[in-house]
């Protein structure tokens, strides 16, 4: 995982988009500019990983002279830049760290949460990839190695999330001596959000100087030469299931996707795992509690990504006081599901997945 310096924009006394000092604390460290309306979100930072497999072996990298966990092993990966999709970020990181061009096959494991000292946390998205190139150590990498399960340096892995990823792959493999080379049946897609693009920063959070774009999601100050990073926002949702039916809501007239049916979803808060976000948003928007038991899909545009789970409802009935996003809430079986044209954003993909899995009947 590529190391990045701490972003000081959270502490800047002015808006990094318009320069106004009129900042209002919203909640949990999120701040909104009264002048231009931009909200500075402190969502968990998104990371994309490339799980490169060849002949039952996985490509691992040993971290070089980096700030966090030098000398340990992990898979190629790094932060997703604003305007960049998760698969594109995984492919870019693989190229930067091992010098190979990869083909992304699909999501290979459920998203994972990594705690960080600042309390913000990271959300990790891992993509199965293949390559015909021969890897070599590159950016901040000391060594590369193809490993079968019994060749992995388990005691020297960089993060607990790395170990969880690799052990999960071994558990899923038909042969314990080989890593699997297929991706699970999970819905994924790039879906334009329909919202106005998020304003890009123009002023340095360190000195207030003008920022110049350097790469995707990366800017450099023309005055003090410090770097500034922006990332897509992490969101999550949960499709509650009960007696072969799924709970959907009709979106309000004043929001994106007005009048269409969708699953409850919302932004992750600092330090919150995707499953926690999904369960919290479901209850806040419908009054129903459910368990985020299975990953249904991951969807993205350049501005944010959405992780969708499905699981059984355990208690609660939809109540009018729990409908900030919806005008109606209904349980749908297979026969009564709205047509794809009446479903918003990822709902067309996830409801089809639920039917395919036999969870909606």
Return d(Cα 211, Cα 232) in angstroms, integer: 19
Question: What are the start and end residues of each CATH 3.90.79.10 domain in the chain?
Answer: 45-184, 233-356
Q: How far is the CA of 344 from the CAs of 96, 348, 357, in angstroms? A: 36, 7, 21
| Residue 210: band (very low, low, confident or very high) from pLDDT cuts 50, 70, 90 | very high
Whether pLDDT at 322 is above 70: no
pLDDT reported for residue 68:
80
Q: Are strands 187-190 and 294-300 parallel, antiparallel or unpaired?
A: parallel
| Residue 6: band (very low, low, confident or very high) from pLDDT cuts 50, 70, 90 | very low
| Residue 1: band (very low, low, confident or very high) from pLDDT cuts 50, 70, 90 | very low
For domain 233-356, give the CATH superfamily.
Nucleoside Triphosphate Pyrophosphohydrolase (3.90.79.10)
Whether pLDDT at 146 is above 70: yes
Whether pLDDT at 290 is above 60: yes
Q: pLDDT averaged over the chain?
A: 91
Return d(Cα 284, Cα 265) in angstroms, integer: 10
Q: How far apart are the first and last CA of the chain?
A: 42
Whether pLDDT at 5 is above 50: no
| Residue 4: band (very low, low, confident or very high) from pLDDT cuts 50, 70, 90 | very low
pLDDT tens digits along 67-116: 788 999 999 999 999 889 999 999 999 999 999 999 999 999 999 999 99
pLDDT tens digits along 221-249: 999 999 888 899 999 999 999 999 999 99
Return d(Cα 193, Cα 161) in angstroms, integer: 29
Give this prediction's pTM: 0.91
Return d(Cα 60, Cα 11) in angstroms, integer: 36
pLDDT tens digits along 160-204: 999 999 999 999 999 999 999 999 999 999 998 766 667 788 999
Q: Residue 190 pairs with which residues in a beta bridge?
A: 300
Q: At the topology level of CATH, where does 45-184 sit? A: Nucleoside Triphosphate Pyrophosphohydrolase (3.90.79)
**Residue-by-residue DSSP string for 146-161:** EE-GGGS-GGGBS-HH
pLDDT tens digits along 258-268: 999 999 999 99
Stated length of the chain: 361
Return d(Cα 108, Cα 55) in angstroms, integer: 16
Is 293 or 39 the better-scoring residue by pLDDT?
293
Nearest to 54 by CA among 130, 108, 109: 130
pLDDT reported for residue 3:
39
């Amino acid at each position: 995982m590529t190391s990045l310096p701490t972003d000081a924009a959270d502490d800047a006394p002015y808006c990094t988009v318009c320069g106004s000092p009129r900042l209002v604390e919203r909640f949990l460290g999120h701040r909104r500019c009264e002048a231009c309306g931009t909200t500075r979100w402190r969502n968990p930072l998104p990371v994309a990983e490339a799980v490169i497999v060849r002949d039952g072996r996985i490509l691992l990298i040993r971290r070089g002279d980096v700030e966090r966990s030098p000398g340990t092993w992990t898979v190629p990966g790094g932060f997703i830049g604003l305007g960049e999709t998760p698969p594109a970020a995984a492919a870019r990181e693989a190229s930067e760290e091992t010098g190979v061009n990869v083909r992304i096959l699909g999501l290979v494991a459920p998203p994972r949460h990594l705690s960080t000292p600042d309390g913000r946390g990271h959300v990790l998205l891992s993509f199965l990839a293949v390559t015909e190139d021969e890897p070599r150590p590159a950016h901040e990498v000391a060594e590369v190695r193809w490993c079968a399960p019994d060749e992995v340096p388990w005691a020297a892995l960089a993060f607990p999330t790395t170990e969880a990823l690799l052990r999960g792959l071994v558990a899923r493999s038909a042969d314990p001596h080989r890593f699997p080379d297929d991706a699970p049946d999970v819905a994924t897609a790039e879906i334009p959000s329909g919202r106005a693009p998020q304003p890009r920063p123009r002023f340095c959070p360190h000195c207030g100087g003008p920022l110049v774009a350097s790469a995707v999601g990366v800017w450099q100050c023309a005055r003090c030469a410090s770097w500034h990073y922006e990332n897509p926002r992490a969101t999550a949702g949960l499709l509650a299931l009960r007696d072969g039916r799924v709970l959907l809501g009709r979106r309000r007239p004043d929001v994106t996707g007005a009048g269409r049916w969708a699953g409850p979803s919302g932004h992750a808060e600092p330090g919150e795992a995707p499953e926690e976000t999904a369960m919290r948003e479901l209850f806040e928007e419908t009054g129903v509690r459910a368990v985020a038991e299975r990953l249904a899909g991951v969807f993205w545009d350049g501005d944010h990504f959405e992780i969708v789970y499905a699981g059984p409802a355990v208690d609660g009935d939809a109540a009018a006081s729990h409908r900030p996003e919806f005008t109606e809430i209904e349980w749908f079986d297979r026969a009564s599901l709205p047509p794809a044209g009446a479903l918003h954003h990822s709902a067309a993909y996830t409801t089809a997945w639920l039917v395919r899995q036999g969870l909606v009947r």
